[in-house]
């Protein structure tokens, strides 16, 4: 097939005719217009036709493929040379396969408009639904296979708006076409009889009469030459002949054996794996020659069940299907004896078998001879559990040499299941975990016999934890079927009492004699025999996180480390040799993280295997290994003076979380580990755990080094920063003051550490709204930094940037811009345009421009910051997402609500994935979505967001934290919009009391709440109370922000309007004149 390739310049060109190694591609489904309107192969070769109406389809497909990160796409109008009859015939006979092989199929509906996609209140239907149901696309012959064949089908309006996919629209499509939902869900066509499939096409039309038959070739898996001009009846007669030939004795009667799965565990709830099943069928679709597929993957990943599903789907394609258990030679001999008996039961006089002794090797030789008889070419043999293969490096005397047991004739088909990727027989297919969470949820639902799990958030959380491992999902389902506990309770037991849970879980018929407790022991035994370092590494992995373990992290460089560690990390070759054995048994795989790496690529272990390594391989906790892991991770925490330090820190976070758990739960002997507590506390993102870390670090450092040592004082300062993040401002100030006094005494007033402590106090005061004290601190720090370090030192620039933020808070916008611009030029000169400090200042400039109403300049800054942070930090880094969040706020301010929601949703999903659902940044994104919904008038959605944010903030930060109070204030705004004025007043009063306590009576946030209360009292008709509030807000703004600040002027304007409503016209005029 030829494909259209999208070039970097935005143009596209035709590839050569590809026969193998076809790259991922999108495919278009559409209805043809007049022939002269479509872009043909000749048009494309002559670079002509862009003015034709049909070029819109190419443009749409190109742009959508680009959005889906697909470089190649296929369109029938121009990818087939229809002037070449041989090529046209081959293409039409291959069409079903091409559509099935596409990554995405785009259905482009020229007669459906998708712009007005609101839901009509009366019919509760999208406005495009009527046109969708009447679309010409559903009446055309060729579009039937284009609906059925692809794995993914997405429907688009003529404007390119996504209407839904085959799954979300399946009920509509079923009603329109009469095609059963099972077929739309990917059910195999052999599950539907000939008449049923013919009826699907009965009312469809084609331009050429013969095409009504030719368009069904793929539906019936028939291949035949095209003879245009033969007429409809002749074409259908040849089609029926092809169908009849396919149904007739695919197998010759004398070699037919009844299909049986008596020797293998079967399940009724096999889900997913459609791509693997299609690939198996493609490779095993024999022309009478020999075909072999090897399924390899982790134990419990579902290799055997995949083989079972294949045999059930394609049993009619084979004359005989036999199942062999080849875990050892005794099992093989027993299996071959059973196969011989199966054959003799139906063919008592079968050649080579009628007089053979069923003991020993004779049955094996007889079965192999029978399989090699002439015309006996349609059998399928499954060699299951080939997990101990005879390989040069495997010295196990019990290892199996499969070649002794394979048929010698070049005919028939073979499936091998193995855990080892070193089995180099036939076409390899790696069986991975289930990627679609709905498949995981279906297994949970079927095995637990509980309804409603597909939309259950607890079920989704459990499914994610089990990470697509069918055995783990079936095990969970079996337990939930027999024990009346919730899914969240099961997840708690799974994490906290793994071993006890597995021992009490009932057996699963589909995994005979195997549980999560035992299934990987087989692989581990082979690994231990093969490479002792590999086995020790797997055991050691239990003390790290399961994701992204890399060479340099383990290269501790301490001569006192165990000999095996020194041997493992003496060079990369030794490390890679050990890892390769674990990869061979699919226990470990290359970590697919897309972030830029300073150090080596990492490796990950499946989450379920990791828990097994903790509870089985380390049944007795090894305190020495635990301490070793903690030291490795702790010593790898880097300072900000290291080039691109943040990339390594980002990789370390998950290991810090694991080691922090070990430390905080007393699972390591922790004398002399104070430095590690400090490093972890600096890096760890969860505030309560970080506080414990830093407190322990401080106690240890005070004991070992004394209270005045700089390392001790650094930890005091870090505790101050943590308290500030927690909203504990008085405790933060005590820590900062203590650190400052200590540094002044130990190092002098002009030392950089002293000045950093001064700078930290300035930041705290700014956060509290104590702007004059903040400015004093910043100016003090700036003066001495310029004196000691120079005007362009990065520490100096950090204080300049902070001054910019302070001036912005004060409404001194020109001075703020000067500071930001100075910091930006300095950072660009010292660190480059792509450094994170440079990008932070660009982001700050964007926020300032929003404040100034310079929206286009703000958007440019945010976009620059976003591109830089995505490149430097990755798409899901918290700093990247904060810029995404800022863009959302900008779009919301501009009234671009759709774009704003996209940004907020991206930020929310990113934070949830990177940090968790209850992290402060995640909750901030939830709160922002609530604000957006409030502005859009989506009040119920807004309330859900605000309530979620409030519950999260109260749990994580406490009821009196500033972020909690801000969400309470937002709820007040919502209740005011809903007319729930009493509830609104309660929210505002709670916010006001909290702000006054935490920030003081004159802080901007306090005054904003006072202002909101004044507005509410106007709504309630409490005009005297409103006047008091507006006057207080006005006086506070004047004192804090100045007489000309927009907030001050807004308060004056509202007070003026209130005086007018009260009939105080002189006072009203004064206020309104002042506000002008």
Residue 603 and residue 538: Cα distance in Å, rounded?
Answer: 12
Judge whether 1033 and 1007 are in contact, CB under 8 Å: yes
pLDDT at 684: 47
Residue 984 pLDDT exceeds 80: yes
Residue 576 pLDDT exceeds 90: yes
How many Å separate Cα 192 from the centre of its chain?
36
Mean pLDDT value across residues 603-624: 87
Q: What share of the chain is helix, strand, coil (3-state, %, to 5)?
A: 60, 5, 35
Residue 367 pLDDT exceeds 50: yes
Q: For 81-125, how does the pLDDT look when each residue is reduced to its tens digit (9 = 90+)?
A: 888 888 888 899 999 999 999 999 999 999 998 765 445 444 456
- Structural domains in the chain, CATH included, are 4-247 (no CATH), 253-430 (3.40.50.300), 441-503 (no CATH), 531-615 (1.10.10), 888-1000 (1.25.40.10), 1001-1076 (1.25.40.10)
The CA-based diameter of the chain, rounded to the nearest angstrom, is 121
pLDDT-based confidence at residue 173 (cuts at 50, 70, 90): very high
Helices 674-683 and 687-704: crossing angle, nearest 10°?
150
Would you call 386 helix, strand, or coil by DSSP? coil
pLDDT at 555: 87
Residue 1041 pLDDT exceeds 60: yes
Q: Which residue has better confidence, 507 or 78?
A: 78
Backbone region of residue 360 per phi and psi (left: phi > 0; alpha: psi in -120 to 50; beta: other values)? left
Report how far apart, in Å, the C-alpha atoms of 818 and of each of 447, 592, 841, 858 are.
Answer: 65, 43, 12, 16
Residue 720 pLDDT exceeds 50: yes
- Across 96-182, the runs of DSSP E, i.e. the strands, are 104-108, 153-156, 162-165
Mean pLDDT value across residues 677-695: 59
Mean pLDDT value across residues 41-63: 87
pLDDT-based confidence at residue 990 (cuts at 50, 70, 90): very high
Residue 204 pLDDT exceeds 60: yes
Tokens of 107: 């259905």
pLDDT-based confidence at residue 136 (cuts at 50, 70, 90): very high
- Residue 589: what are its φ and ψ, rounded to 5°? -140, 160
pLDDT-based confidence at residue 843 (cuts at 50, 70, 90): very high
Average pLDDT of the chain to the nearest whole number: 86
Q: For 520-545, how does the pLDDT look when each residue is reduced to its tens digit (9 = 90+)?
A: 887 888 888 888 999 999 999 999 99
Q: In 915-1045, which ranges are continuous DSSP H helix?
A: 920-936, 939-956, 962-978, 981-999, 1004-1020, 1023-1040
Residue 111 and residue 297: Cα distance in Å, rounded?
Answer: 47
pLDDT at 373: 85
Residue 190 and residue 181: Cα distance in Å, rounded?
Answer: 15
pLDDT at 266: 64
pLDDT at 722: 78
Tokens of 376: 């006996």
Judge whether 834 and 870 are in contact, CB under 8 Å: no
Q: For 427-470, how does the pLDDT look when each residue is reduced to its tens digit (9 = 90+)?
A: 999 999 888 888 888 888 888 888 888 888 888 888 888 888 88
Mean pLDDT value across residues 939-948: 94
The residue among 357, 360, 363 whose CA lies nearest residue 337 is 363
Report how far apart, in Å, the C-alpha atoms of 46 and of each of 43, 278, 473, 561, 1032 are.
Answer: 5, 37, 56, 69, 76
Would you call 30 helix, strand, or coil by DSSP? coil
Mean pLDDT value across residues 495-513: 65
Residue 769 and residue 757: Cα distance in Å, rounded?
Answer: 19
Report how far apart, in Å, the C-alpha atoms of 743 and of each of 196, 288, 712, 756 are.
Answer: 85, 84, 10, 10
pLDDT at 591: 83
Percent of the chain with pLDDT over 90: 41
Residue 231 pLDDT exceeds 80: yes
The residue among 454, 760, 460, 502 whose CA lies nearest residue 616 is 502
pLDDT at 25: 95
Q: How many CB atoms lie within 10 A of CB 482?
A: 12
pLDDT at 250: 41
**Residue that is written with structure tokens 């990627």 in the block:** 435
pLDDT at 269: 66
Tokens of 217: 């070739």
Helices 1004-1020 and 962-978: crossing angle, nearest 10°?
20
Mean pLDDT value across residues 262-280: 78
pLDDT at 122: 47
The residue among 459, 499, 466, 500 whose CA lies nearest residue 480 is 459
């Amino acid at each position: 097939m030829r494909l259209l390739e999208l070039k970097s310049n935005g143009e596209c060109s035709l590839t050569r005719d590809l026969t193998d190694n076809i790259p991922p591609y999108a495919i278009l489904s559409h209805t043809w217009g007049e022939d002269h309107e479509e872009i043909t192969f000749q048009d494309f070769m002559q670079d002509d036709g862009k003015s034709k109406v049909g070029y819109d389809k190419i443009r749409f497909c190109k742009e959508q493929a680009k959005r889906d990160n697909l470089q190649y796409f296929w369109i029938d109008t121009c990818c087939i040379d229809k002037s070449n009859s041989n090529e046209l015939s081959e293409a039409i006979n291959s069409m079903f396969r091409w559509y099935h092989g596409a990554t995405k199929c785009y259905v482009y509906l020229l007669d459906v408009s998708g712009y007005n996609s609101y839901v009509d209140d009366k019919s509760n239907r999208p406005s495009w639904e009527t046109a969708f149901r009447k679309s010409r696309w559903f009446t055309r012959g060729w579009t039937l296979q284009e609906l059925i064949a692809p794995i993914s089908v997405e429907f688009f309006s003529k404007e390119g708006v996504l209407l839904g996919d085959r799954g979300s629209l399946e009920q509509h499509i079923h009603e329109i076409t009469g095609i059963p939902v099972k077929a739309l869900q990917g059910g195999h066509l052999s599950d539907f009889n000939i008449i049923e499939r013919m009826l699907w096409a009965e009312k469809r039309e084609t331009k050429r009469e013969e095409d009504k038959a030719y368009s069904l070739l793929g539906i019936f898996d028939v291949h035949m030459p095209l003879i245009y001009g033969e007429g409809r009846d002749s074409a259908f007669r040849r089609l029926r002949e092809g169908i009849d030939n396919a149904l007739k004795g695919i197998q010759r009667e004398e070699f037919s054996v009844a299909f049986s799965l008596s020797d293998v565990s079967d399940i009724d709830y096999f889900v997913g794996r459609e791509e693997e099943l299609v690939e198996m069928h493609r490779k095993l679709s024999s022309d009478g020659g020999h075909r072999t597929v090897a399924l390899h993957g982790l134990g419990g990943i579902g290799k055997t069940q995949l083989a079972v599903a294949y045999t059930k789907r394609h049993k009619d394609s084979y004359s005989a299907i036999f199942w062999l258990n080849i875990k050892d030679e005794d099992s093989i001999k027993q299996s071959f004896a059973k196969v011989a008996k199966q054959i003799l039961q139906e063919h008592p006089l079968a050649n080579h078998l009628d007089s053979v002794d069923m003991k020993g090797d004779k049955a094996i030789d007889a079965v192999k001879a029978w399989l090699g008889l002439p015309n006996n070419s349609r059998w399928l043999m499954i060699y299951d559990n080939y997990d101990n293969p005879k390989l040069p490096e495997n010295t196990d005397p019990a290892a199996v040499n499969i070649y002794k047991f394979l048929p010698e004739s070049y005919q028939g088909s073979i499936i091998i299941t193995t855990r080892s990727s070193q089995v180099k027989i036939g076409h390899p297919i790696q069986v991975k975990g289930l990627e679609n969470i709905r498949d995981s949820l279906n297994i949970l639902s079927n095995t637990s016999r509980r309804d409603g799990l597909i939309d259950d958030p607890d079920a989704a959380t459990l499914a994610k934890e089990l990470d697509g491992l069918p055995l783990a999902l079936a095990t969970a389902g079996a337990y939930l079927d027999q024990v009346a506990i919730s899914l969240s309770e099961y997840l708690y037991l799974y994490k906290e009492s793994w071993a006890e849970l597995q021992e009490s879980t009932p057996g699963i018929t589909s995994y005979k004699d195997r549980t999560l407790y035992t299934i990987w022991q087989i692989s581990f035994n082979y690994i231990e025999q093969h490479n002792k370092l590999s086995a020790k590494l797997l055991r050691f992995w239990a003390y790290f996180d399961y994701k992204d373990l890399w060479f340099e992290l383990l290269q501790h460089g301490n001569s006192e480390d165990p000999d095996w560690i020194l041997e493992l990390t003496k060079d990369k070759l030794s490390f890679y040799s050990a890892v390769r054995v674990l990869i061979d048994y699919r226990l470990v795989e290359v970590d697919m993280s897309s972030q830029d790496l300073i150090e080596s690529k990492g490796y990950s272990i499946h989450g379920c295997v990791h828990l097994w390594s903790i509870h089985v391989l380390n049944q007795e906790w090894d305190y020495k290994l635990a301490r070793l892991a903690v030291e490795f991770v702790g010593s790898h925490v880097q300072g900000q003076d290291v080039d691109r330090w943040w990339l390594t820190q980002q990789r370390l976070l998950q290991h810090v979380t694991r080691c922090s758990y070990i430390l905080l739960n007393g699972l390591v002997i922790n004398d002399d580990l104070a430095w590690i507590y400090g490093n972890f506390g600096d890096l760890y993102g969860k505030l309560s755990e970080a506080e414990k870390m830093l407190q322990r670090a401080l106690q240890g450092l005070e004991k070992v080094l004394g209270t005045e040592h700089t390392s001790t004082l650094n930890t005091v300062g870090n505790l101050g920063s943590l308290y500030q993040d927690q909203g504990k401002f008085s405790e933060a100030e005590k820590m900062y003051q203590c650190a400052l006094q200590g540094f002044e005494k130990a190092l002098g007033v002009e030392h950089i550490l002293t000045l950093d402590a001064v700078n930290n106090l300035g930041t705290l005061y700014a956060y509290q709204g104590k702007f004059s004290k903040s400015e004093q601190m910043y100016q003090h720090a700036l003066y001495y930094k310029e004196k000691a370090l120079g005007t362009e030192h990065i520490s100096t620039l950090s204080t300049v940037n902070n001054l910019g933020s302070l001036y912005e808070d004060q409404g001194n916008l020109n001075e703020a811009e000067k500071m930001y611009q100075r910091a930006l030029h300095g950072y660009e000169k010292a660190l480059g345009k792509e450094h994170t400090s440079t990008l932070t200042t660009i982001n700050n400039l964007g926020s300032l421009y929003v404040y100034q109403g310079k929206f286009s300049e703000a958007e440019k800054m945010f976009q620059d910051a976003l591109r830089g942070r995505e490149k430097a930090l990755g798409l899901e880094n918290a700093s990247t997402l904060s810029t995404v969040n800022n863009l959302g706020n900008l779009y919301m301010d501009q009234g671009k609500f759709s774009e704003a929601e996209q940004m907020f949703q991206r930020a929310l999903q990113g934070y949830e994935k990177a940090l968790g659902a209850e992290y402060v940044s995640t909750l901030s994104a939830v709160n922002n979505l609530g604000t957006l919904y409030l502005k859009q008038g989506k009040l119920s959605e807004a309330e859900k967001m605000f309530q979620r944010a409030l519950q999260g903030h109260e749990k994580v930060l406490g009821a009196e934290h500033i972020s909690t109070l801000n969400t309470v204030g937002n709820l007040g705004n919502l209740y005011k919009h809903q007319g729930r004025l009493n509830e609104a007043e309660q929210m505002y009063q709670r916010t006001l009391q909290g702000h006054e306590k935490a920030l003081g009576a004159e802080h901007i946030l306090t005054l904003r709440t006072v202002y909101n209360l004044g507005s509410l009292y106007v709504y309630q008709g409490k005009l005297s109370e409103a006047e008091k509030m507006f006057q207080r807000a006005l006086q506070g703004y004047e004192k804090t922000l100045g007489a000309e600040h927009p907030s001050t002027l807004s308060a004056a304007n509202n007070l003026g309007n209130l005086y007018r409503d009260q009939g105080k016209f002189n006072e009203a005029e004064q206020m309104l004149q002042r506000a002008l």
